[in-house]
Amino acid sequence: DVYASGMLADDPPGYPVRYADLERKGKEALSEEAAAYVAGGAGTESTVAENRRAFDDWRIVPRMLRDVAERDLQVDLFGDEIEVPFLLAPLGVLSIVHDEGELAVARAAADRDVPMVLSSASSYTMEEVADELGETPKWFQLYWSADPDIAHSFIDRAESAEYDGIVVTLDTPLLGWRERDIEQGYLPFLDGKGVANYFSDPAFRDRLDVPPEENEGSAVMEFIDIFGDPSLTWDDLAALREETDLPLVVKGVLHPEDAERAVECGADGVIVSNHGGRQVDGAIGALSALPSVVEAVDVPVLFDSGIRGGADVVKAIALGADSVLLGRPYAYGLVIDGEAGVGSVLDDFLADLDLTLALSGHTSFDELDRSMLVDRRGPG
Ligand code: FNR
């Protein structure tokens, strides 16, 4: 097993192991506005807290003496064997966290066969990140631009760069009411470097009177103006489906009827997520939304928003998720030490989930189902 587990974990001295320490150290190392961007949520941030609380509704009932010496962390996703039961969630504008941004993340992911979902708002171009990922599974997250030419161009580029799938984010046609960001003057760090993937895009450049290199400020304003489209409907999703043969997964679904609708429009998978509590304050905790979505559709269901350790992965998969996505934890690893920091977060996460799988009496994630959990709220 390539993952040093438990007592053998070999984090450099001073690296945080607990999530609370990772978050604290990460925030300390960032400017106030960058820390607000990573940690912040919508409104009072009640949904950020609710995402964590929802995990407490479920408790694992471990089973004993079942020979757990040999374990396999692989999961099947869209017909491919994936080495680990999680992917890296798309996080935009990572240059504000670390100079090497998404390139450092991709290197750490590729070293460990951890699939990565790259944000539209990447600080490096999707072609540069694809080069770093090589054969590691890679998906491109589409922010569905108000300019259809940009959406088409992103999909064409993702196909040419051999991404394995498109994740279209449905919950962000507009940015949420993020009070910390608003107080800081909203994304004061946003510059051309931050959204290089847009600045390199031919369709985006076509919209501008002068190239972004000549007037960075107005190009950034243009990006803010067109990155999302609040007029989109389900018919548009059906049309988008026709545009590519790549697997198409929708991200940000919380209602079972939306999941059904997405599948009717041709989506190959659904990600249950509330964007880490960054969009609708007061929204349902993402884990609370998972069981009804799993019940509603037959396609793969993935999950994010609040995953912090191995037990969270076990609970989400036992509740019917096919895989999960890791978000803020790896961003803090990136702050602390670039590629090595992300690597340490991933190694610890892998060791924790491997141990939790074994100690709950299982040897593969396929074996997990709801019968291994109790609902501590009681029946009914
Ligand atoms: C995000 N998320 C996000 N999602 C997306 O589809 N495109 C994006 O560009 C971003 N950018 C982004 C930046 C930052 C700093 C954060 C924290 C989140 C949402 C992300 O993919 C995922 O849904 C959440 O991060 C899950 O919540 P936790 O587990 O990180 O709290």
CA–centroid distance for 315 within its chain = 18
69-79 pLDDT, tens digit per residue, is 999 999 999 99
Quickly count helices (H) and strands (E) in the chain: 15, 12
Q: Which atom of ligand 1 is nearest the CA belonging to 304?
A: 26
Report, as an integer, the average pLDDT of 205-223. 94
Percent of the chain with pLDDT over 70: 97
CB 346, CB 54: distance < 8 Å: no
Is the CB of residue 107 below 6 angstroms from any atom belonging to ligand 1? no
- Structure confidence at residue 186 as a pLDDT band (50, 70, 90): low
Q: What distance in Å separates the CA atoms of residue 343 and residue 339, rounded to the nearest whole number?
A: 6
Distance 378 CA to ligand 1 centre (A): 32
Residue located nearest, by CA, to atom 18 of ligand 1: 91
Instruction: For Cα atoms 183, 188, 189, give the angle at the middle one, nearest 5 degrees.
Output: 135
Amino acid 70: pLDDT:
97
Amino acid 14: pLDDT:
76
Is the CB of residue 305 below 6 angstroms from any atom belonging to ligand 1? yes
Is the CB of residue 187 below 6 angstroms from any atom belonging to ligand 1? no
Distance 279 CA to ligand 1 centre (A): 10
Q: What distance in Å separates the CA atoms of residue 178 and residue 180, rounded to the nearest whole number?
A: 6
Residues acting as catalytic residues: 275
Residue located nearest, by CA, to atom 5 of ligand 1: 90
Q: What are phi and psi of 45, to 5 degrees?
A: 65, 25
pLDDT above 90 for 8: no
357-367 pLDDT, tens digit per residue, is 999 999 999 99
Q: What distance in Å separates the CA atoms of residue 281 and residue 46, rounded to the nearest whole number?
A: 6
Cβ-based neighbour number of residue 103 at 10 Å: 22
- Structure confidence at residue 2 as a pLDDT band (50, 70, 90): very low
pLDDT above 60 for 147: yes
78-127 pLDDT, tens digit per residue, is 999 999 999 999 999 999 999 999 999 999 999 999 999 999 999 999 99
Closest CA to 195 of 230, 161, 225: 225
Report, as an integer, the average pLDDT of 7-13. 70
- Structure confidence at residue 1 as a pLDDT band (50, 70, 90): very low
325-366 pLDDT, tens digit per residue, is 999 999 999 999 999 999 999 999 999 999 999 999 999 999
| For ligand 1, mutation pick of 254, 278, 290, 345 (most atoms within 8 Å of CB) | 278
Is the CB of residue 329 below 6 angstroms from any atom belonging to ligand 1? no
35-72: burial string, b at 16+ Cβ within 10 Å, e else: bbbbbbbbbebbbbebbbebbeebebeeeeeeebeebe
CB 69, CB 93: distance < 8 Å: no
282-307 pLDDT, tens digit per residue, is 999 999 999 999 999 999 999 999 99
Distance 188 CA to ligand 1 centre (A): 19
CA–centroid distance for 217 within its chain = 28
Distance 331 CA to ligand 1 centre (A): 10
DSSP characters for 245-311? Answer: SS-EEEEEE-SHHHHHHHHHTT-SEEEE--GGGTS-TTPPPHHHHHHHHHHH-SS-EEE-SS--SHH
pTM assigned to the model? 0.97
Instruction: For Cα atoms 313, 129, 163, give the angle at the middle one, nearest 5 degrees.
Output: 70
Residue located nearest, by CA, to atom 14 of ligand 1: 91
pLDDT above 60 for 4: no
Distance 115 CA to ligand 1 centre (A): 16
| Biggest distance spanned by C-alpha atoms of the chain | 69
282-312: burial string, b at 16+ Cβ within 10 Å, e else: ebebbbbbbbebbebbebbbbbbbbbbbbbb
Contacts of 236 (CB under 8 A, 6+ apart): 144
Is the CB of residue 275 below 6 angstroms from any atom belonging to ligand 1? yes
Q: What is the ipTM of this complex?
A: 1.00
Q: Of 33 and 254, which is predicted with more confidence?
A: 254
Q: Which atom of ligand 1 is nearest the CA belonging to 276?
A: 27
Amino acid 280: pLDDT:
98
Strands 58-60 and 373-375: antiparallel
Is the CB of residue 141 below 6 angstroms from any atom belonging to ligand 1? yes
Amino acid 356: pLDDT:
98
Distance 278 CA to ligand 1 centre (A): 8
Q: What distance in Å separates the CA atoms of residue 363 and residue 73, rounded to the nearest whole number?
A: 8
Which DSSP helix (H) or strand (E) runs through 39? helix 32-39
Q: What are phi and psi of 255, to 5 degrees?
A: -110, 135
| For ligand 1, mutation pick of 27, 86, 91, 94 (most atoms within 8 Å of CB) | 91
Distance 327 CA to ligand 1 centre (A): 6
Closest CA to 172 of 121, 241, 136: 121
Amino acid 380: pLDDT:
61
Is the CB of residue 117 below 6 angstroms from any atom belonging to ligand 1? no
